[in-house]
Amino acid sequence: MPRQITAFSNPLIKRVRLLRDKRHRKDEGLFLAEGLRILTEAREAGRLPQYLFFAGDSGNHPLVQALVEATEAAGGEAVETNADILSKLSGKDNPGAVVGVYPEFGVALSDLDRSSASIWLVAERLRDPGNLGTILRTGDAVGAGGLILLDEHVDPFSVEAVRASMGALFTVPVAQASWDAFRIWLRAGPGQLVGLSLDTEHDYRAPAYAAPTFLLTGNEAQGMPDFMAAECDLLVKIPMLGKADSLNAAVATAVMAYQVLGQHGG
């Protein structure tokens, strides 16, 4: 049976609010997810919150009821509260009906099965949580095997990144690794490394892409370093016919991913 919390001074509310800060997320090993759609997708993917907060006036919604029942059945705690507290937890003026607190998760490179998918997404020093979330959504849409984040990058479990992923964080495996570790792992098996670059004459529509294809997107501001470009099996560019010199990193990744998907018969 859910307990009720309506006081901002409650110790659990104070603790959960701190999870919006990266340091506290790392200390606790927990992160926040907000919104009925995202939490429902997490439940369908087999991930349930350690704590589930829901507004009392939404308690009769069938999806909220399903989340409450599943959370409690899995040993988590459901907490009935109000919109003001949900706003404090999520950081939004108009919060969703539910906020969940989840254990952080991820996979190691060694746990990835490259034969499980024909497309893999790789992002180098990605800094923007919106871009990360959008790339995860693209990965889900094209059936990518996972997203591999290289070197220093935005926290995939930040409130902003989780929100931008619209639930894809729970459906697309995310691995975090250094460039050296990734390069060694990649070259230990099959895989074509394709880099998105402005410094090439190869139009992205021309080459044949070999499965599994690993699409490497560089840092939003600087692109990928020369030593990474040199390691790619193929560099391709997306033609720019207007005044802009490049596409947003997440948009470019999506364009490339669908080009590869089309070649692979998707």
Who has greater pLDDT, 94 or 87? Answer: 87
Which tokens belong to 250?
A: 């997440």
Last residue of a domain, one of 103, 124, 139: 103
Domain check: are 152 and 241 in the same one?
yes
pLDDT digits (tens, 9 = 90+) for 110-151: 999 999 999 999 999 999 999 999 999 999 999 999 999 999
| Residue 55 CB neighbours (<10 A) | 20
Instruction: Report d(CA 13, CA 77) in Å as an integer.
Output: 13
Per-residue model confidence (pLDDT) at position 109: 95
Last residue of a domain, one of 56, 85, 103: 103
Who has greater pLDDT, 106 or 158? Answer: 158
Q: Total domain count for the chain?
A: 2
Instruction: Report d(CA 163, CA 258) in Å as an integer.
Output: 23
Per-residue model confidence (pLDDT) at position 265: 81
Question: Nearest CA to 193 among 116, 124, 129, 99?
Answer: 124
Per-residue model confidence (pLDDT) at position 52: 97
- Name the band, by pLDDT with cuts 50, 70 and 90, for residue 23: very high
pTM above 0.85, yes or no: yes
Question: Nearest CA to 103 among 177, 33, 9, 23?
Answer: 33
Range(s) of the domain holding residue 259: 109-263
Per-residue model confidence (pLDDT) at position 91: 83
Domain check: are 86 and 121 in the same one?
no
DSSP for 156-209, written as a single string:
TTSHHHHHHHTTGGGTS-EEEE-HHHHHHHHTTS--EEEEE-SS---BTTSSPP
Is a pLDDT exceeding 80 seen at residue 2? yes
Domain check: are 99 and 165 in the same one?
no
Domain check: are 121 and 233 in the same one?
yes
Instruction: Report d(CA 38, CA 137) in Å as an integer.
Output: 12
